[in-house]
């Protein structure tokens, strides 16, 4: 009944995509290099690297639809598979743009989406010049960074590889919007969320939806996100991270053509989850309105030290209605590694805030 669907990447995002598919009896296959990651438990798991051409070609050969849960995948293999008739969604062209922060910025600039000015940095000398040009700048590795790894506010070096330096925005807030787009051009926007970052780590700690922001900012963020998906001719969900500066101006930070950490609350809080909506988009099924049904928040469960993680207070927080714990089955923690998340839904913002303080008080990772 269903086409054969494969996912490149077997982390928590792949796992939640598989879970959404299972609701329909859709059994996805998953490719990941780690033998013990969040998807290793599934029968459709294949061990191999999404960044390796041969591994991706072998994995994709007899699939109908191939999608991703990460950026760092082999684009030449995607091109070959697309030529062989596999429906590659997102397209190889989109993957080539997004997996390089410089190409992403060039795309955004060319299409006149507001994004912080930037320069290329290819060696120590260019890094030194960029540090002079930008009083306050942000150094970002072009490829392979995630969860703040590869991002630094320190421009004194050393040069670690092909990078960009962009102007540092004087942030009032950070927002994220997830949109979905089908091959026929239909699209839907999830409600924007406000993201809160772990100090020093450039890593999302918490999100709140709906955020306390003017409806005009929220609408603008959704419209920009829909237009970006359109400009990419994207199929699937797309997450757009925004900065809001002190003058209420929105800047596009970065885009990810896949389910995203800032959409986890949609599993419990929205009419459709980002994972189900992604599957709908890539399988040419109807997209449904994706607005939230409950005020909600989500906190990431992050590793604190190296070793086997232990979760304290699970029983206590699991006793509270509207608190939903997700653990990704990662056997080994490292500092700031995402091990799970907790979604909170409530009757109103105060109810959500009260449940968050219960989690704060009772729950910890050691």
Residue ranges that bind ligand ADP, judged by CB under 6 A: 116, 138, 140, 145-148, 150-151, 166, 168-169, 171, 174, 197, 202, 241, 253-254
Strands 171-181 and 236-245 turn out to be: antiparallel
Select 148 or 162, whichever has its Cβ closest to ligand ADP.
148
Min dist. Cβ of residue 354 to Mg ion (A): 29
Using alpha carbons only, what angle is made at residue 10 by residues 328 and 150, rounded to the nearest 5 degrees? 90
> Which option in Mg ion, ligand ADP, none does residue 120 bind, with CB closer than 5 to 8 A by kind?
none
Min dist. Cβ of residue 115 to Mg ion (A): 13
Contact 345, 366 (CB under 8 A): no
Using alpha carbons only, what angle is made at residue 193 by residues 24 and 324, rounded to the nearest 5 degrees? 50
Q: Give me 11's structure tokens.
A: 């982390």
Q: Hey, is 125 helix, strand or coil?
A: helix
Min dist. Cβ of residue 149 to ligand ADP (A): 6
> Which option in Mg ion, ligand ADP, none does residue 143 bind, with CB closer than 5 to 8 A by kind?
none
Contact 88, 46 (CB under 8 A): no
> Which option in Mg ion, ligand ADP, none does residue 146 bind, with CB closer than 5 to 8 A by kind?
ligand ADP
Site string for Mg ion, 229-248 (x = CB under 5 A): ------------x-------
Question: DSSP string of 61-72?
Answer: TT-SEEEESSS-
Q: Round to whole Å and give the CA distance between 32 and 20.
A: 19
- List Cβ neighbours of 207 (8 Å cut-off, separation of 6 or more): 176, 193, 194, 195, 196, 262, 265, 297, 298
Select 174 or 194, whichever has its Cβ closest to ligand ADP.
174
Contact 239, 192 (CB under 8 A): no
Min dist. Cβ of residue 239 to Mg ion (A): 9
Select 66 or 208, whichever has its Cβ closest to Mg ion.
208
Select 152 or 220, whichever has its Cβ closest to ligand ADP.
152
Min dist. Cβ of residue 243 to ligand ADP (A): 6
Min dist. Cβ of residue 205 to ligand ADP (A): 11
Select 44 or 148, whichever has its Cβ closest to ligand ADP.
148
> Which option in Mg ion, ligand ADP, none does residue 162 bind, with CB closer than 5 to 8 A by kind?
none
Which spans in 287-363 are helix H? 314-318, 349-362
Select 60 or 192, whichever has its Cβ closest to ligand ADP.
192
Residues of the shown chain interacting with Mg ion in the complex, contacts defined by CB under 5 A: 241
């Amino acid at each position: 009944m269903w086409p054969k669907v494969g996912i490149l990447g077997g982390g928590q995002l792949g796992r939640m995509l598989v879970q959404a598919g299972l609701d329909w009896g859709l059994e996805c296959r998953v490719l990941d290099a780690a033998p013990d990651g969040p998807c290793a438990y599934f029968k459709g798991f294949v061990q191999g690297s999404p960044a390796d051409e041969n591994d991706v070609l072998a994995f994709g050969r007899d699939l109908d639809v191939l999608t991703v849960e990460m950026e760092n995948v082999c684009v030449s293999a995607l091109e070959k598979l697309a030529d062989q008739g596999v429906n590659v969604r997102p397209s190889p062209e989109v993957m080539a743009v997004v997996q390089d922060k410089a190409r992403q910025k060039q795309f955004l600039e060319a299409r006149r989406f507001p994004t912080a000015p930037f320069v290329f940095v290819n060696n120590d000398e260019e890094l030194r010049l960029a540090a002079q040009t930008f009083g306050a700048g942000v150094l970002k590795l072009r490829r392979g960074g995630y969860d703040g790894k590869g991002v630094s506010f320190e421009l004194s070096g050393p040069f670690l590889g092909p990078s960009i330096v962009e102007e540092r925005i004087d942030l009032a807030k950070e927002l994220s919007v997830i949109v979905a787009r089908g091959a026929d051009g239909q699209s839907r926007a999830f409600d924007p969320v406000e993201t809160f970052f772990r100090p020093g780590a450039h890593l999302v700690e918490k999100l709140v939806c709906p955020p306390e922001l003017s409806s005009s900012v929220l609408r603008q963020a959704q419209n920009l996100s829909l237009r970006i998906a359109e400009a990419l001719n994207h199929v699937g969900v797309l997450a757009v991270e925004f900065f809001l500066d002190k003058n209420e101006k929105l800047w596009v930070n970065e885009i990810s053509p896949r389910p995203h950490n800032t959409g986890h609350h949609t599993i419990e809080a929205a009419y459709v989850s980002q994972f189900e909506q992604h599957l709908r988009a890539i399988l040419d099924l109807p997209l449904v309105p994706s607005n939230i049904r409950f005020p909600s928040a989500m906190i990431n469960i992050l590793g604190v030290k190296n070793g086997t993680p232990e979760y304290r207070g699970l029983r206590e927080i699991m006793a509270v209605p509207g608190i939903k714990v997700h653990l990704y089955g990662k056997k080994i923690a490292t500092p700031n590694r995402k091990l799970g998340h907790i979604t909170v839904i409530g009757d109103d913002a105060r109810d959500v805030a009260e449940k968050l303080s219960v989690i704060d008080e009772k729950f910890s990772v050691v």
